[in-house]
Structure formats: C-alpha cells, structure tokens
Amino acid sequence: MRYEFRVTGRVSTPLADTFPELDRASVPRQTLFFGTVTDEAHLYGLLARFQDLGLHVEEMRRLPD
C-alpha cells in the first residue's frame, strides 16, 4: 500500500529523517511524505510519529499502486 501524507509547513531535514522509509517533497506551505506502508500497524505508527514530533497531518490518502 502506498500512502501520501500532507503535513503543514516545511519540515526540516532532521525531523524528516525520522521517516527514513518515506520520500518527501515540498510544496507551498506543506510537506508531502509518501511511500510504501507495510500494514495498518505501520500506518498508525507513522501517524503517532508525526504527532510526537508536533507535525500536523492535514491530509492522508492511499495512492494507486
């Protein structure tokens, strides 16, 4: 399953590096994280990690494989 997460604001490298399994791209006022999510445990783990780092997930969607 591939997912995309849209996080508010630009995320600095040290924080982005805590998601080594995700690629990232910057768009105006947002940072996109995307990549393969193994299963739901992984998905919820990622969301918890965003939250732990004070990052705000505005939108999340599944990408076509």
Partner 1 sequence: MPTSGFPAGTEGFPAVTEEGKGSHAGHTPGRRPVGTATEAALAWSGDPLLTSKVSVPVLPGTCVPRQRLLDRLSGGVNGPLTLVSGPAGAGKTTLAVSWAHLTTPPGPVAWLTLDTDDNAPGVFWSYVLEAFRRALPSLPATIGTPTSPDSIGRSLLVRLASAVEHLPHPVVLVLDDMAKAPGREVSKGLGFLLEHAGPQLRLVLIGRVDPRLPLHRYRAEGRLTEIRGADLTFTPDEAATLLRQHDPATTDSTVGTLTSRTEGWAAGLRLCALAMRKSGDPDGFARSFAASEHAVADYLLAEVLEVQPAATRKLLLRTSILDQVHPELANALTGRQDAEEILARLVREGAFVEPVADTRWCRFRPLFAKVLQAHLRSRRPGLAPRLHGRAARWLADAGRPAEALGHATAAGDWSYGAAEAVRNLMVGSLLAGPDEDRLPALFSRMPDDTPGVEPALVAGACRLAGRDLEGCRERLTAAERFMNSGSTPLGPEAGLTHALLKLLCESYGPESGATPGAAAEAMARNAGHMTARVAGGRTEEHPELTALRLHGLACALLRSGRLDDARRAFTDAVEACADDATHLVLHASFGKLALTESAVGALTAAEDHAVRSLTVADRHGMPPARRSGAGHLALAALSFERDDPRTARHHLERAMASPDAHDDPVMVAESAVLRSRLELTQGRWEAALTALGDPGQPPMTWPAERLAVARSHAVLAHGDHEAAVAALHGGDGDGPALTVALAHAHLAAGRIDRARRLLAHADRSHRSSLVDHVRIRLLRARIAMLGDDPRAAHAPLAQALDAARPEQLRRPFTEAGPWLRHLLERADGEDTSRLSRSWLSTRCPDGPRTPAFVEPLSGREREVLACVARMLSTNEIADELHLSVNTVKTHLRSVYRKLCVSRRREAVELGKELHLL
Positions that interact with partner 1 (CB under 8 A) = 7-15, 17-18, 28-29, 31, 49, 51-56
Kindly state the DSSP code that residue 44 receives in the 8-state scheme: H
- Shortest distance, position 21 Cβ to partner 1, whole Å: 15
- Shortest distance, position 16 Cβ to partner 1, whole Å: 9
Calpha distance 53→25 (Å, rounded): 18
Quick one: 27 or 39, whose CB is closer to partner 1?
Answer: 27
- Shortest distance, position 60 Cβ to partner 1, whole Å: 16
Backbone angles phi, psi at 5, to 5 degrees: -120, 130
Contact 32, 25 (CB under 8 A): yes
